[in-house]
Structure 1
Amino acid sequence: MHPRLVALALTLCVLVSTAHTQTLTLRETDDVVGRGIVQITGVEAGAFVPDWWENNTLNWVRDERWPLLQPRPGNKRNIYAPSSVEIPGKGFRIFYGGWDGEDLGKDNIYSTTTKDFLEFGDRQAVINHGDFYHICNVNGIRFHNGSYRLMCTGLPADSNRNKPVVFASTDGKTWNNTQPPYPAKPQDTITMEGYTDYTNADINGMNVQLYEDGKYYIYFGDFRNFGQVHRAVSPDGTHFTYEKPVLDAERAVNDVKKFIVGDQPYYLMGLHMNGPRLYYALSTDGSSFPATHILFTHNGPEDRYIVAIGWVTVGDQDKPGRKIIGTLYGAGAIWALDHNRIFARWLQKKLVFQSDDGLTITGSSAIGPDRQLLSLGGSSQTGTLHLYAEDGITHLASTRVELEPETAYQLNFNPE
């Protein structure tokens, strides 16, 4: 048998800890891989672990496609504000805003689908700015019955005070019972009681919805009174009553997702400030958040100015085991914020290959949430492959391997 086949067949075993043995194996697959690259599938993040977030130890890996989504050809090309909604068993529907190859520089809301973030379906404008100057900064949720709800920023044509607007769909395609794109109307604007001078509030790009226990919550900020994230509640998602500030920070809130670990809920907030980094805050009740952490900084000149963030999650928010597998974010290379693209980073298990001749290679990029790439060079290498958890610290297993460039492998990790 060829030595490489022997190595693949016998990649068994491996880390023995005081608690239990864990097994790591590789097998070759038919995926096409670039020159000098090894692709290893099987590294997608597992269930949410709050300790890693509280300690800010997270292994973020940038997607090799940089950006993940470009605007379509056209006169005006500027897309950002991604919001990913899981369709259980089928993949994801992604909403985003901006000018996706339009003639006019007025923001609309668009949608596409993907099974696994490897390929994307047709794009479609679902909400047109209509009676507004723009409609953008979308935040979407999907209910168990398959219906959807979007909350967006709307700038009225006769005002410079942005307000949240909402839209409903039974299937994610047709909105407010109108064939797409639905033209936004003033009556789509939410109301709010109890927030001081709500009429003059400027809620621009800071309108996040969370549905929990039969109630709709909005997390928002106000550029006329900046420095806090606030929360309001509604029985119907349209008529809100102000509650209180939940976070002291000069940050723009863009997403909040809920997780259950044991019997404890956790609420993960994502924020930005049109700069080189993203932020997050983690709460156990959703009504009060501690100081923010830096999530990560920009990777290069292409994503220097980050203008939006949306978590990518898998699983029911009210059941244990829900995962956060990555984040999509809008960013651009110039401060004017009108040349944005959509980028992706994935929360993955960490791979480190140590060759017998002393070379150390760490996974440097990804293709989607489950594939990690290692730059091997032009020749095969024999050595030890180490697998770490998504915190990048906790060692899970190791195995002896021979890696061949331009080859794809499937990783199987089985705690015993």
Structure 2
Amino acid sequence: MWSSRAWRGALLLYWEGQLYPVPDSRQAIFNDAATLKLTEKTVLFRFFELVRAHIAAAAAAADEGEEASDKKISDQDLDLPFVEYLKKHQLPPKLRAVVLYAIAMADYDQDTDCCEKLLATREGIQTIALYSSSIGRFANAQGAFIYPMYGHGELPQAFCRCAAVNGALYVLRMPISALLMDEERKNCLGARLTSGQDILCQQLILDPSYKVPILDAPSDGSDSNLLRKVARGICIISKSVKQDSSNLLIVFPPKSLEEQQIAAIRGLQLSSNLAVCPPGLFMVYLSTPCADTSTGKQYIKKAIDALFAPQASDSLEGHLEETSENNEDLRPTVIWSCVYVQEITEGTSSSLLSCPTPDEHLDYRSILDSSKKLFADICPNEEFLPKKSAAVYADDDSDSAE
């Protein structure tokens, strides 16, 4: 139903103009003899052991239906800003950046008085628990990530297959030409297909990027559906950023490119073994949350300049050029690139429903949460994706094959 591959690559942190491996496990800490000092290894190892013991105690208490009495981290500490808790355990700035932005996946500068979204220790520990439990889940990879073959477009395909197997009516090559709206009540009554057939319904799930004119403008004149913006960059490059690694995740912590940088930038390098680009080339996706278009594009371009050899043209908007060997600069050459800003919107009404557009987060947690909420709104008395026995799955597969 869904093809994916475990992460066979490296997690790197951009720090002081260099790329460093992220020590995200006990094995990684001990194996890092080049970039971590002995004192840094000791501090980081003790911190991870404390977190591991706290997670184990909380899990054991949850299994018994009780509140953990032997928690290793107090409630007072769990309510602290995570960055303050890390300072309390004497993690130096570089290791704080590792934990905050590469493992706990904080988006905004945590070491400032006016943080856009301050991460509490409780949230940070929960994310570290998820990250740690994901490491080594697949025999052919030691990392914490799995990536879908052919890109994220496989997820809607997997959903459609799952829906069809479970009784949904799934129609191919039948686009919608118009929505049927009650202009007075501002409700959706159904949809008109390109065949001319009208399908009436009480609720319709729609991609939030579609604009419905009579619902588009809020009554107070403000854009209440606009949540935030994400600057994105797409690059096709000539070789891997890191030799002998085809897939990479690169994290630029706040202030790593310049002092005014308030948000983390993430770069995801993928190779042809994930069927996202031709053999011999690599695809790099970069993203960062931003308050305005110009600032967002500026920081994406700075990240591109930090990773790749300069282009012949300063323009990164759909620029295409031939690769050229540069004996002085051994970094990858950008063959094609594009930088743009995407508005993260969320539109919903009593009859038109939607999930938010893809955001700046690296994982699917927010997408899963919004999907569950949408399902609960439509089917309040139904269980979300109930588990089935192996025998039921076998029956479904045989029925779909007939």
| Larger RCO (CA under 8 A, 6+ residues apart) | 1
TM-score by length of 1: 0.25
TM-score by length of 2: 0.26
Higher radius of gyration, 1 or 2: 2
Q: Which structure shows the bigger proportion of residues in helix conformation?
A: 2
